[in-house]
């Protein structure tokens, strides 16, 4: 056939699947343009500080180039800009460690590269010791918790099923559910996490027609230094939530990427808050861990731990998508673990260090809030670690609320805009709000308006300047003297 030189116009939208057309994206992407504004200080995004990557550089031996190439890491260890002072160690003399590239870069079947699955299984046993027989739970390597969550949703839920989420949820938990036609339902929270009595009441009164979704099969939550609320569920709260889930036969999906970023006052001697997995006598917890926050987000590596039949079903999904995480990543992490000296080096030296980095950042941030922010306008808890502080706007004292001129949400939107004018970027709680929760009265709504502040990236100077700007914005909004 003779080629027609005029291109035929292709209507790409007509090729999209219903799934593609129905994809819901996080509102956080709306913050992106604001990053570009010159002079903006960001408390908006939750990114780990690159000084915490435990790799200063990598040397790769490349046979056909006939040389070794050195890939430099983060070397700007200027102590005036980092919190706490991170010790820079120049690339040490090379010692050969164990990973075997002939295996690690090969295809792997089942739960992942065997040495990593074995190492992670030992790690889980030491950190959580799931209280049901060892042969009945398993570990599956994932490409991080985003991938883990996709696998779990696709394995457990049908379209029209409901999932219980925290009143303020990690946006991808919400948008992934919505994209797959899973109906989210918000469980009210207080300062310790979801409220067990409210969870019980929701399940007691569940009405499939009114809810637009079948009875929920699972509750998904972020139990430690939560994104966005910064909440760490105390052990007692976890036990109460677990009891309600048992009563109604609900699975618990524990998304815990900030587990090792929790504040540990006595370093390695402070026990971690017990996880849901560690109290799971039934085998109803599916737990997600990630290397993103204690190695690096770009490692795209993590793992799922849970009852074998469920983990196996998730692994079958992996076979037709990621086909296990990257072998290059696994080999690199394996080398880092060996350089630390295995489990003890990780648990006794490295994990306490990571917790200390975020603890010092969080405590410095709160000290600055206390110094500058007028107490009439906002309140905040002590940080439990991680990256986020959940500042509550005291809408109930705002002049336009008291006079009835504005709704709490309108005031929230104005505060966000005023912060932008002051060149300070924050994330409003409306971005994280799960639908399907209770209808709050105007007075109750006024008590549930927050701002997510991330303290993981700014320098000490940016923290102080940013908080001064927030204070100016809040005084302006509340009509207080500058």
Q: Which residues pair with 251 in a beta bridge?
A: 218
Q: Considering the complex, what minimum distance in angstroms separates the CB of residue 301 from ligand PLP?
A: 8
Q: What is the DSSP letter of 262?
A: B
Q: Which of 112, 144, 151, 306 binds ligand PLP (CB under 6 A)?
A: 144
Cβ atoms of 101 and 271 within 8 Å: the answer is: no
For helices 460-478 and 351-372, angle between their N-to-C axes, nearest 10 degrees:
40
Q: Which of 41, 42, 46, 336 binds ligand PMP (CB under 6 A)?
A: 46
What is the rounded distance in angstroms from the CA atom of residue 349 to the CA atom of residue 340? 8
Q: Which of residues 130-169 bind ligand PMP (CB under 6 A)?
A: 146
Identity of the residue, 30 or 396, whose beta carbon is nearer to ligand PMP in the bound complex:
30
Q: Considering the complex, what minimum distance in angstroms separates the CB of residue 40 from ligand PMP?
A: 15
| Residue 220 engages ligand PMP in binding (rule: CB under 6 A) | no
Number of residues that bind ligand PLP (CB under 6 A): 13
Q: Which residue is nearest to ligand PMP (CB)?
A: 46
Q: Considering the complex, what minimum distance in angstroms separates the CB of residue 169 from ligand PLP?
A: 9
Phi, psi of 124 (to 5 degrees): -60, -40
With residue 82 as reference, give the H or E element that holds it.
none
Cβ atoms of 434 and 174 within 8 Å: the answer is: yes
Q: Considering the complex, what minimum distance in angstroms separates the CB of residue 232 from ligand PMP?
A: 17
Q: Which residues pair with 182 in a beta bridge?
A: none
Q: Considering the complex, what minimum distance in angstroms separates the CB of residue 284 from ligand PMP?
A: 26
290 binds, among ligand PMP, ligand PLP, none (CB under 5 to 8 A by kind): ligand PLP
Cβ count within 10 A of residue 50? 14
Measured distance between the N- and C-terminal CA atoms of the chain, rounded to whole angstroms: 77
Identity of the residue, 146 or 278, whose beta carbon is nearer to ligand PMP in the bound complex:
146
Q: Which of 23, 27, 34, 45 binds ligand PMP (CB under 6 A)?
A: 45
Cβ atoms of 34 and 420 within 8 Å: the answer is: yes
Q: What is the distance of C-alpha 411 from the center of its chain?
A: 27
Identity of the residue, 142 or 227, whose beta carbon is nearer to ligand PMP in the bound complex:
227
Segment near ligand PMP (CB under 6 A), from 41-49, 64-72, 75-83, 410-418? 41-49
Task: Compose the 274-293 pattern: x for residues touching ligand PLP by CB under 6 A, - for all others.
Answer: ----------------x-x-
Q: What is the per-residue DSSP string for 137-196?
A: EEEEEESSHHHHHHHHHHHH--TT-EEEEESB--HHHHHHHHHTTPEEEEEPEETTEE-H
What is the rounded distance in angstroms from the CA atom of residue 116 to the CA atom of residue 220? 26
Cβ atoms of 140 and 113 within 8 Å: the answer is: no
Q: Which of residues 220-249 bind ligand PLP (CB under 6 A)?
A: 222, 227
Number of residues that bind ligand PMP (CB under 6 A): 7
Could you tell me which of 398, 404, 435, 402 has the C-alpha nearest to residue 418? 398
Cβ atoms of 233 and 241 within 8 Å: the answer is: yes
Q: Which of 216, 230, 257, 362 binds ligand PLP (CB under 6 A)?
A: 257
3-state secondary structure 358-393: HHHHHHHHHHHHHHHCCCCCEECCCCCECCEEEEEE
Q: Which residues pair with 98 in a beta bridge?
A: none
28 binds, among ligand PMP, ligand PLP, none (CB under 5 to 8 A by kind): ligand PMP
Pairing of strands 137-142, 218-221: unpaired
Segment near ligand PLP (CB under 6 A), from 75-83, 139-147, 390-398, 462-470? 139-147
Burial label for 14, CB within 10 Å (0-12, 13-18, 19+), is exposed
255 binds, among ligand PMP, ligand PLP, none (CB under 5 to 8 A by kind): ligand PLP
Task: Compose the 39-78 pattern: x for residues touching ligand PLP by CB under 6 A, - for all others.
Answer: -------x--------------------------------
Q: Which of residues 284-303 bind ligand PMP (CB under 6 A)?
A: 297
Cβ count within 10 A of residue 275? 25
| Residue 426 engages ligand PMP in binding (rule: CB under 6 A) | no
Segment near ligand PLP (CB under 6 A), from 138-146, 198-206, 266-274, 347-355? 138-146
Identity of the residue, 141 or 292, whose beta carbon is nearer to ligand PMP in the bound complex:
292
Spatial neighbors of 249 by CB under 8 A, at least 6 apart, are 284
CB burial readout 238-261, b (16+ within 10 A) else e: bebbbebbeebebbbbbbbbbbbb
Q: Which of residues 84-123 bind ligand PMP (CB under 6 A)?
A: none
| Residue 146 engages ligand PLP in binding (rule: CB under 6 A) | yes
| Residue 173 engages ligand PMP in binding (rule: CB under 6 A) | no
Identity of the residue, 221 or 449, whose beta carbon is nearer to ligand PLP in the bound complex:
221
The site for ligand PMP (CB under 6 A) is made up of 28, 45-47, 146, 227, 297
The site for ligand PLP (CB under 6 A) is made up of 46, 144-146, 170, 222, 227, 255, 257, 290, 292, 297, 302
């Amino acid at each position: 056939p003779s080629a027609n030189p005029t291109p035929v116009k292709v209507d790409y939208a007509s090729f999209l699947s219903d799934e593609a057309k129905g994809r819901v994206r996080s509102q956080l992407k709306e913050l992106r343009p604001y990053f570009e504004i010159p002079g903006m200080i960001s408390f908006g995004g939750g990114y780990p500080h690159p000084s915490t990557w435990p790799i200063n550089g990598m040397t790769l031996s490349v046979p056909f180039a006939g040389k070794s190439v050195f890939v430099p890491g983060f070397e700007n260890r200027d102590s005036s800009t980092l919190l706490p002072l991170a010790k820079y160690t120049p690339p040490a003399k090379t010692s050969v460690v164990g990973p075997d590239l002939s295996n690690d870069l090969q295809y792997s079947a089942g739960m992942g590269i065997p040495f990593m699955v074995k190492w992670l299984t030992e790690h889980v046993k030491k950190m959580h010791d799931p209280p049901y027989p060892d042969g009945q739970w398993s570990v599956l390597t994932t490409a991080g918790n985003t991938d883990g969550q996709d696998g779990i949703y696709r394995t457990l839920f049908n379209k029209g099923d409901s999932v219980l989420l925290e009143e303020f949820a990690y946006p991808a938990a919400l948008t992934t559910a919505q994209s797959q036609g899973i109906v989210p339902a918000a469980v009210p929270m207080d300062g310790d996490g979801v409220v067990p009595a409210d969870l019980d009441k929701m399940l007691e009164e569940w009405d499939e027609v009114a809810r637009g979704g079948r009875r929920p099969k699972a509750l998904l939550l972020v139990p430690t230094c939560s994104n966005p609320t910064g909440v760490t569920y105390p052990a007692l709260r976890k036990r109460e939530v677990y009891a309600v889930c048992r009563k109604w036969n609900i699975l618990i999906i524990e998304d815990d990427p900030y587990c090792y970023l929790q504040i540990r006052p006595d370093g390695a001697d402070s026990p971690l808050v017990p996880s849901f997995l560690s109290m799971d006598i039934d085998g109803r917890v599916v737990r997600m861990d990630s290397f993103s926050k204690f190695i690096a987000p770009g490692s795209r590596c993590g793992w799922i731990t849970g009852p074998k039949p469920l983990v196996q079903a998730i692994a079958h999904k992996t076979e037709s998508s990621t086909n296990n995480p990257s072998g290059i990543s696994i080999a690199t992490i394996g080398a880092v673990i060996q350089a630390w000296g295995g489990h003890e080096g990780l648990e006794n030296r490295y994990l306490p260090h990571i917790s200390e980095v975020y603890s010092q950042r969080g405590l410095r941030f709160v000290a600055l809030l206390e110094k500058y922010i007028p107490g009439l306008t906002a309140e905040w808890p002590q940080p439990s670690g991680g990256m986020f502080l959940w500042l509550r706007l005291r809408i109930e004292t705002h002049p336009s609320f008291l006079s009835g001129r504005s709704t709490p949400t309108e005031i929230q939107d104005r505060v966000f805009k005023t912060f932008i004018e002051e060149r300070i970027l924050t994330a409003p709680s409306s971005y994280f709000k799960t639908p399907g929760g209770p209808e709050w009265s105007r007075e109750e709504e006024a008590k549930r308006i927050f701002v997510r502040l991330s303290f993981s990236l700014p320098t000490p100077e940016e923290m102080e300047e940013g908080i001064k700007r927030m204070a100016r914005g809040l005084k302006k909004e509340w009509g207080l003297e500058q």
